[in-house]
Chain A
Amino acid sequence: MRWLRALYFFLIFFYLYLPITVLVANAFNSDRYGMRWGGLTLEWFVDMIGNQSLMEAARHSLLIALCAATLATLIGALAAIGLSRYRFWGRRIIQGTTITLMMAPDIILAIALLVLFIALGISLGFWSLLLAHITFCLPFTMVTVASRLQGFDPHLLDAARDLGATERTLIVKILLPMMRPALIASWLLAFTLSLDDVIVSSFVTGPSYDVLPLKIFSMVKVGVKPEVNALAALLVLLSLVMVLISQILLKEKTNYEKLT
C-alpha cells in the first residue's frame, strides 16, 4: 500500500508541476518554439520589456489588482464585522447573496455586470473593471476575515466599551488590528483572483483599457510566443511568493493563538 500511495502522489505532482516546469524552462530556452533545449537565454525577457502594449496591459492589471484587493479587503472586513456583530433585517439575504456570488460561474457574473453597466450607461474601462473585480473578490475576502473573527474573545470588546470606547473606536483600534493576518491573507487572495481573472475582464472592459490576461489570450491564441513565456515565468514566481507569504501568516496566527 505504501508504494501505491507514493506512486499516486508522484503521478499527481507530475501532472500538476510538469506543465509549469516546462513553461518556466521555456522562458529561458533559446529555442524559439521550445521543441528542444537550445541553451540558456534572457532574450525573451528583453523582448517582453520591449513589447509596449504588453507592458501597458501589465501596468493596467497591476493597478486594478492593487485597487480591487485593497477595497475588497476593506469592504469585506467591514461586512464580516457587520454580519457577526449586528442583527438586522436582510442579514440572511446578504449571506445568501454572498454564497451565490462565490459559487456562481464567473461567466454569469461577467454578463450580469455587463448588462448592468450598459443599463446604467457606465462606459467600459477602468471603472467598470474595478467595480467588477471588487465584486467577485468580495465574497472571498468576507469569508477569509469571518473565519478569523469566529475565535475572537468578545470580552475584550465589552471591556473596551466599559472604558468608554465608541463603536468606531472598537472597530478601528481593536477589531481591525487583531484581524491583521486575516486582512493580509485576504488581500493576497483578492490580488491573486483579480490578476488571474480572464472571464469577467473580457466582458466588462473596453478596447481602450486592455488587461494582461486578455492580452496574453489574444497573443497565444495563434501559437507560442516566447515573450509570453517570460511573462508567465514571472507570474509563476509571483504566485509562489504569494502562497509562501500566506502560509507564514497562517503560522503567525497559530502562534498568536497559543499566546492568548
Chain B
Amino acid sequence: MKATINTKWFIIILVSGWLVLFGVVPLLLLVATSFLTADHVNLVRFQPSLESYRQLIDPVYLSVISRSFKLALITTLLCLVLGYPYAWYTARFPPRWRNTALILLMIPFWTNSLVRTYAIRMVLGTQGIVNKLLLALGVIDAPIRFMYTDLAVIAGLFYLMLPFMILPLYASTEKLDFRLIEAARDLGAGSLATFRKVILPLTLPGIVAGCVMVFVPTMGLYYVASLLGGARQLLIGNLIQQQFLSARDWPLGAATSVLLIVAMAFMLAGYAAIIHRVGGKARKGDWS
C-alpha cells in the first residue's frame, strides 16, 4: 500500500510541479514585469508603473498593432474559406482516400516551418517559379515584385497556418450526421439554406476552434514577417522580439505580450460560449 501511495504522489508532484514552475509561474512573472519600470543596467527596476501601457497607445506602436490584427484576420479568413472544403470533402471521402488526404496535409505540417517560409521566399522571387509560370501562361507581361509586400507575408502565414485550421474543422465535419443533411433536403431546403441552417451551426465548434488556433498564434510568427516582409515591423511578434532582444525594454515587451494574452482569453471565452450553446454533443470528442 505504501508503494501505491508513493507512486501516486510521485506522479502528481512531478507533473503539477513542472506545470506550475514552467507554466503558471513564468506567465505570472511576465504579467508582473509589464507593470515594472525599464532599467538599462538591470533590465527592470522594481518600481510599479503603468508607463509601458501608456507607450502601447503611442500612435506609431498602435499602427503596428492594428496592422498585425489586420494581417492575422486576413490569414484566418483565408484559412477558413480555403480550408473548409478540404475538411468537408475529406470527411466524406471513402476511408482509403481520407487517410491519403490527411497524410498529404500532414507532410508539409511536419516539415520545419522555417524551411517552409524560406521555400515560399524561393518561389515568390522576381526570378521565382511563380512569376515564370504567370509569364508563361501570359497572365502577366512583366515579373511582379511579391517579396517584401504584405501579400508575400500573407502567403507565408497562410501556408504555415492552414493545417491548424483544417484539423479542427475536420474533427467537426467528421462527426456531422449526414442524415441531417438528407433530411433538410427532403424537407425542401436548397443548398444554401442547408448550409446556413444545418451544416454551419453544427460545424461551428470546429470553425471557432480553428480560428482560435490560427488568429492569435499568427501574430507571434515574427520570423515569417522578417523573412517575407523585410525590415518593417509587421506583427506583434516583431514588436515583442525587438523589445526583448534588441531594445531591451522588457516591461514594454511584456505589456505588448499581455495584449496577445488578452486576445487569446477572449478567443477562448468565445469558444467556450459556442461549445456551451451547441451543447454537450460537440464536446464528446474533446479531451478532458
Beyond A111-B30, A112-B26, A232-B112, 6 additional contacts (C-beta under 8 Å) are: A5-B85, A22-B128, A34-B122, A236-B115, A239-B110, A243-B110
Q: State which residues 64-109 of A face B: CB under 8 Å.
A: 75, 78-79, 81-83, 86, 88, 90, 94-95, 97-98, 100-101, 103-109
Q: What is the CA–CA distance of A106 and B213 in the complex, to the nearest angstrom?
A: 12
Q: What is the CA–CA distance of A213 and B193 in the complex, to the nearest angstrom?
A: 48
Q: Which of B22, B241, B264 has the most CB of A within 10 A?
A: B22
Interface residues on B, range: 35 or more
A105 engages B260 (CB within 8 Å): yes
A115 at the interface (CB under 8 A from B): yes
A35 engages B11 (CB within 8 Å): no
Q: What is the CA–CA distance of A216 and B250 in the complex, to the nearest angstrom?
A: 26
Q: What is the CA–CA distance of A110 and B207 in the complex, to the nearest angstrom?
A: 27
Q: What is the CA–CA distance of A217 and B112 in the complex, to the nearest angstrom?
A: 12
Pick from A111, A146, A243: contact of B254, CB below 8 A: A111
B206 at the interface (CB under 8 A from A): no
Q: What is the CA–CA distance of A236 and B20 in the complex, to the nearest angstrom?
A: 35
B4 engages A167 (CB within 8 Å): yes
A20 at the interface (CB under 8 A from B): yes
Binds A, one of B50-58, B222-230, B274-282: B222-230
With a CB–CB cut-off of 8 A, which chain B residues contact A243?
103, 106-107, 110
With a CB–CB cut-off of 8 A, which chain B residues contact A119?
29
Residues of B near any A CB (own CB < 8 A): 3-4, 6-8, 11-12, 14-16, 18-20, 22-27, 29-30, 33, 43, 82, 85-86, 89, 99, 101, 103-108, 110-116, 118-123, 127-129, 159, 162, 212-213, 216-217, 219-223, 226-227, 237, 240-241, 244-245, 250, 253-254, 257, 260-261, 264, 268, 287-288
Q: Which 7 A-B pairs have the closest CB atoms?
A: A19-B119, A112-B26, A105-B220, A107-B220, A167-B4, A116-B26, A239-B110
Q: Residue of B at shortest CB range from A119?
A: B29
With a CB–CB cut-off of 8 A, which chain B residues contact A12?
82, 86
If the complex has contacts A90-B16, A198-B223, are A118 and B43 also in contact, measured as CB distance less than 8 A? yes
Pick from A19, A111, A247: contact of B159, CB below 8 A: A19
With a CB–CB cut-off of 8 A, which chain A residues contact B86?
8-9, 12
A203 at the interface (CB under 8 A from B): yes
A56 nearest CB across to chain B (Å)? 18
Q: What is the CA–CA distance of A97 and B21 in the complex, to the nearest angstrom?
A: 11
B3 engages A166 (CB within 8 Å): yes
A13 engages B104 (CB within 8 Å): yes
Q: Residue of A at shortest CB range from B235?
A: A107
Chain A 178-196 interface mask (CB, 8 Å, partner B; 1/0): 0000000000000010011
B144 nearest CB across to chain A (Å)? 16
B260 engages A107 (CB within 8 Å): yes
With a CB–CB cut-off of 8 A, which chain B residues contact A107?
220, 222, 237, 240-241, 257, 260
